[in-house]
Every structure is written in structure tokens, then in C-alpha cells.
């Protein structure tokens, strides 16, 4: 069962192969959603300061631990420093504020949410923020070495951004969380991460719902007697990546974890050929 499976990160930590994403999950419902997921067997929850739901995630974690009796060490919580935070002092402050909102003695993983502020992402000119990202990385390294954070990584980083961290940091990023889904597989970036021992996490594995409108994908999901989101997450898993499906509905949360089927090699090849989604 996928919920019981793990990847081993480059620092020796184990990370559950499937995560519940909480982007666009309002803080006032996050506690119930997270508690439901953990009670259903999820052991990896992904949030971010920018999602404005860390306190709800923390409350849901606490409630689920009390209900299920499982140990805190059994649940992997990821959060992220905002893309706009680009100084050491602001990063230190963000780390502590996340710990406070999550009501946590430690955070399992914390990422730099993006290499540039969101309003500059996608721009081919302007500041690369290489020096600033090293400052933020230094704050993460210090929290990691102090035991406040168990694992550190990045999100939305391209190869040049990763090379900057590899050259200027002391600790290797364990993860790069990027957009990967059927119709959008950045092979060169994924290969670079794998060659450097960096696990790729795939957010929006269902392309924020767009795959539901692709007839070929719907037909293939029907062939395997699964939903499109299930097919999408299985596709990501078979690439050796970690999917982060999201939902606020209990039945979907449960369904999204039912991934114990295999897409055959011909169908994987057909899905890999799809572009532009």
C-alpha cells in the first residue's frame, strides 16, 4: 500500500511516498481535513506560510494524534519559507513563526518556496537572487543543525538555482518540489535532481483539475477503473517522484490514496508523450 511506503532522502531521513497537499485549503477547515487524512493513513502533510493555514494544519495534527494514538514521529510535516523572504533575518523569523503556528517542537521539512518573489517568477531578466537565496539557505542550515528542522530543501528551483545552493551551501537540498503532471514533465530538471540525489516532489499532479478535461487521460483512467486524479498520482509515482494530491473532501482524500495498481509501459509512454497541459 502506497501510504505505507517511503523514499529515503539524501540525509538518511525517510519520507512517505504520498503527501496531502493543502494549497487553497482555508485555515478554518484545514484542521478537519488534516485530521481526516491522518486518520485515513496519510503520514505526510504539505503546507506553506503562503497558504495561511499552518495553524489549522497544526491543530489537525494534534487532534489526529490524540484520536489515533500514533506518535508525532510517524507524521511528516512540510512547510515553506515564502518566496518573498530573501534575507537571513527574515528567514530566521519565518522559521520560528512557522514552528509557533504549527505548535511544533520541530518541523520535518522546510523549503524555500521559490527562488524569486512570485511576481518575478517566469521572468527571463532581472535579479536571479543567488546571493539572497544563500542567505535564506544559511538560516535553514542553522535550524537544521540545531535540530529544529529535520530536512531542508527547495521548491520551484531550476538547474541554475540549484547549482547556486550546491556551490554556496553546506547542506545538500534533500528535495525540490516542482510542477510535474501528465502533459508537463520537465525531464532535464528531474534528471539533474536525480543525478544529485535530490528527490523531486510533484505538486499539482492533476494539473489543478485540467486533466479531467483531457479525453485521452479520462479514457485511460477508465481503462484502469480509477479516477483521473488516481491515474495522475500513479503516473508521478512510476516516474520515481512524490505526488502531492489535494482535496478537502473526505471521499476524495481516501480515493486519492488508493494507488495500488500499475500503469503498463506502453501507457506510461503514451502519457509521457502528451504535452502542453
Which one of the listed residues 7, 42, 51, 203 is annotated catalytic? 51
Would you say 51 and 25 are in contact if contact means Cβ atoms under 8 Å apart? Answer: yes
List the strands of the sheet with 107-112, edge to edge. Answer: 20-21, 44-46, 76-81, 107-112, 149-155, 175-179, 199-203, 242-244
Rounded to whole angstroms, the Cα distance separating 236 from 230 reads 10
CA dist 171 and 230 (Å) reads 34
Beta-carbon contacts of 240 under 8 Å, excluding residues fewer than 6 positions away, are 194, 200
Grid cell 540549484 — which residue? 162
Q: Quick one: cell of 54?
A: 499552518
- 129 belongs to the catalytic site: no
Contact 72, 58 (CB under 8 A): no
As a dihedral over the C-alpha atoms of residue 37, residue 74, residue 83, residue 103, rounded to 10 degrees, the angle is: 90
Cell numbers representing residue 67 in the block: 484520536
Q: Which of 58, 1, 45, 57 is nearest to 19 (CA)?
A: 45
Q: Which residues are tagged catalytic?
A: 51
Amino acid at each position: 500500500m502506497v501510504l505505507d511506503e517511503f523514499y529515503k532522502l539524501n540525509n538518511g531521513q525517510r519520507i512517505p511516498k504520498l503527501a496531502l497537499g493543502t494549497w487553497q485549503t482555508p485555515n478554518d477547515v484545514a484542521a478537519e481535513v488534516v485530521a481526516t487524512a491522518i486518520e485515513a493513513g496519510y503520514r505526510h502533510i504539505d503546507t506553506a506560510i503562503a497558504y495561511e493555514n499552518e495553524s489549522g494544519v497544526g491543530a489537525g495534527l494534534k487532534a489526529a494524534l490524540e484520536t489515533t494514538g500514533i506518535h508525532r514521529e510517524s507524521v511528516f510535516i512540510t512547510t515553506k519559507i515564502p518566496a518573498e523572504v530573501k534575507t537571513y533575518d527574515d528567514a530566521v523569523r519565518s522559521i520560528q513563526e512557522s514552528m509557533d503556528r504549527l505548535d511544533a517542537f520541530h518541523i520535518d521539512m522546510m523549503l524555500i518556496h521559490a527562488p524569486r518573489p512570485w511576481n518575478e517568477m517566469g521572468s527571463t531578466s532581472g535579479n536571479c537572487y543567488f546571493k539572497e537565496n544563500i542567505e535564506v539557505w544559511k538560516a535553514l542550515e542553522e535550524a537544521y543543525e540545531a535540530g529544529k528542522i529535520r530536512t531542508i530543501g527547495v521548491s520551484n528551483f531550476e538547474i541554475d538555482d540549484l547549482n547556486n545552493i550546491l556551490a554556496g551551501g553546506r547542506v545538500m537540498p534533500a528535495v525540490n518540489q516542482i510542477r510535474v503532471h501528465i502533459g508537463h514533465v520537465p525531464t532535464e530538471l528531474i534528471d539533474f535532481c536525480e543525478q544529485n540525489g535530490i528527490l523531486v516532489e510533484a505538486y499539482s499532479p492533476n494539473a489543478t483539475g485540467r486533466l479531467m478535461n483531457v479525453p485521452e487521460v479520462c479514457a485511460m483512467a477508465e481503462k484502469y477503473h480509477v479516477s483521473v486524479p488516481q491515474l495522475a498520482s500513479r503516473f508521478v509515482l512510476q516516474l520515481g517522484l512524490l505526488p502531492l494530491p489535494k482535496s478537502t473532501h473526505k471521499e476524495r482524500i481516501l480515493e486519492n490514496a488508493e494507488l495500488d495498481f500499475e500503469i503498463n509501459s506502453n501507457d506510461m509512454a503514451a502519457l509521457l508523450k502528451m504535452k502542453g497541459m
